[in-house]
């Protein structure tokens, strides 16, 4: 007691100037003496920039999703009122039929037609992460700001390393594995836009190129057939017939056997504007190229010859195929006939040689020209030409 009284008196005199009561001083003294005896408080967790961005994006996404859901439900009620349906019993199938009825469209691309879907199906998904009790993310790739993309890149690296080790182990035992190479014909890598939409992240061109290089190397390995399903998750078909929105015009024809020469052949009928042509491409040929029974030298225009020979140049097929083209109907123009024949030759080569589909697709030779001759306007000399304006 004798040791505490001077302390209380000293505290009382020193705190009178600070206007603090002795009771508060005693409470402060008790807390100061009890602090070393209790367990140390948990350290404050500093929130990094990545975590702050994630929390802000999560809040914004929830607000936006709630707003879109409310607008979607309100739109369903308006749609039910227009169609004379009960708003409480309308289904998504009813909504799709109503949109197709109210907004008829002749667009060939199904993705360009009007739709009314729930926001969860249309809007990009926001990937949520798990955090531990201390606020640290469970996934270490969280701090890369692109966890889904780098997770995919890591998965490609692990599969590549596994195939290389498996192949080296078999070679070291003296048993060379026999496996057919993985064929990527008829398909192409998905675009960076589709990849970003699938992952829910913004993918830069450099990141997309890095992933494509890694996937190409994985597909070129001897045992790549074992991971075929994984690789084709990031490829899309480009062959006509597998998807109605891939090519515009006639699909790639089927390969037939010529009964006269017993050679493979592919025949297709295509058109450009008002010209309709039939093109037959035969394999194991000598380079014969005729249009209505005449060699393509009858076309004196350099542009016409380039159009006729461009599929052969793109696929390096000079002297390997025989081509026969016939004009079925339409005006015999010196520029439109070569364009129609070029499309037919491209489809025939793509049918006989699947490896040539990709270069032809990149040059847009597998798509029919959709343009038509524009009609002439009233009181005008042509479709676009106007009369010369005169002041008097």
pLDDT digits (tens, 9 = 90+) for 175-224: 777 777 787 876 788 888 888 888 878 888 899 999 999 999 998 888 88
Round to whole Å and give the CA distance between 365 and 371: 15
Question: How far is C-alpha 134 from the chain's CA centre?
Answer: 38
pLDDT of residue 107: 74
| DSSP of 228-296 | HHHHGGGEEE-SBTTBTTT-SSSPPPPPEE-TTT--EEEEEEEEETTEEEEEEEEES----EEETTEEG
Q: Give me 280's structure tokens.
A: 């037959």
Round to whole Å and give the CA distance between 75 and 115: 12
For residue range 358-386, what is the model confidence (pLDDT) as tens digits? 888 888 888 887 777 788 888 888 888 88
Average pLDDT over residues 26-46: 41
Q: What is the CATH number of the domain that holds 270?
A: 3.30.230.10
Does residue 201 or residue 338 have the better pLDDT? Answer: 338
What backbone torsions phi and psi does residue 188 show, to the nearest 5 degrees?
-145, 160
pLDDT of residue 282: 92
Q: Residue 130 pLDDT > 80, yes or no?
A: no
Domain of 227 in residue numbering reads as 144-237
Together in a domain, 207 and 156 = yes
Together in a domain, 261 and 216 = no
Average pLDDT over residues 223-239: 83
Q: Is residue 132 part of a domain?
A: no
Q: Is residue 21 part of a domain?
A: no
Which residues, at least 6 apart from 161, have a Cβ–Cβ distance to it below 8 Å? Answer: none
Q: Is residue 208 part of a domain?
A: yes
Closest C-alpha to 358, from 267, 245, 239: 239
Together in a domain, 232 and 261 = no
Q: Is residue 325 part of a domain?
A: yes
Q: How many domains does the chain have?
A: 3
Average pLDDT value over all residues in the chain:
80
Closest C-alpha to 159, from 233, 214, 234: 214
Q: Is residue 184 part of a domain?
A: yes
- HSE-CB for 365 with a 13 A CA cutoff: 29
Cβ-contact 92, 79 below 8 angstroms:
no
Together in a domain, 266 and 358 = yes
Together in a domain, 114 and 197 = no
Does residue 130 or residue 118 have the better pLDDT? Answer: 118
Q: Give me 86's structure tokens.
A: 């009960």
Which residues, at least 6 apart from 75, have a Cβ–Cβ distance to it below 8 Å? Answer: 116
């Amino acid at each position: 007691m004798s040791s505490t009284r001077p302390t209380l008196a000293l505290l009382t005199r020193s705190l009178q100037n600070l206007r603090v009561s002795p009771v508060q001083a005693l409470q402060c003294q008790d807390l100061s003496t009890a602090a070393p005896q209790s367990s140390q408080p948990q350290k404050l967790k500093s929130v990094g920039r990545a975590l702050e961005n994630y929390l802000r994006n999560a809040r914004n996404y929830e607000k936006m999703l709630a707003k879109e859901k409310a607008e979607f439900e309100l739109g369903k009620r308006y749609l039910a009122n227009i169609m004379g349906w009960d708003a409480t019993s309308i289904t998504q199938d009813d909504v799709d039929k109503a949109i197709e009825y109210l907004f008829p469209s002749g667009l060939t691309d199904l993705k360009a037609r009007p739709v009314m879907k729930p926001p969860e199906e249309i809007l990009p998904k926001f990937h949520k992460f798990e955090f531990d009790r201390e606020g640290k993310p469970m996934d270490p790739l969280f701090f890369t700001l692109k966890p889904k993309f780098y997770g995919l890149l890591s998965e490609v690296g692990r599969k590549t390393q596994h195939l290389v080790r498996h192949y080296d182990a078999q070679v070291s035992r003296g048993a060379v594995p026999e496996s057919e190479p993985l064929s990527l014909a008829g398909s192409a890598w998905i675009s960076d836009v589709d990849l970003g939409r699938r992952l829910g992240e913004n993918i830069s061109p450099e990141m997309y190129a890095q992933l494509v290089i890694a996937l190409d190397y994985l597909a070129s390995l001897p045992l790549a057939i074992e991971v075929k399903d994984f690789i084709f998750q990031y490829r899309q078909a480009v062959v006509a017939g597998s998807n109605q929105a891939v090519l515009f015009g006639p699909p790639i024809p089927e390969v037939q056997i010529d009964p006269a020469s017993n050679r493979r052949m592919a025949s297709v009928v295509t058109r450009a504007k008002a010209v309709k042509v039939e093109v037959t491409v035969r394999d194991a040929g000598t380079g014969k190229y005729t249009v209505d029974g005449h060699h393509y030298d009858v076309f004196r225009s350099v542009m016409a010859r380039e159009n006729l020979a461009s599929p052969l140049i793109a696929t390096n097929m000079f002297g390997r195929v025989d081509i026969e083209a016939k004009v079925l109907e339409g005006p015999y123009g010196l520029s439109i006939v070569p364009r129609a024949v070029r499309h037919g030759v491209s489809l025939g080569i793509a049918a006989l040689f699947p490896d040539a589909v990709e270069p032809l697709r990149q040059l847009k030779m597998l798509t029919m020209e959709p343009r038509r001759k524009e009609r002439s306007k009233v009181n005008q000399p042509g479709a676009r030409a106007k009369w010369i304006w005169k002041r008097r």
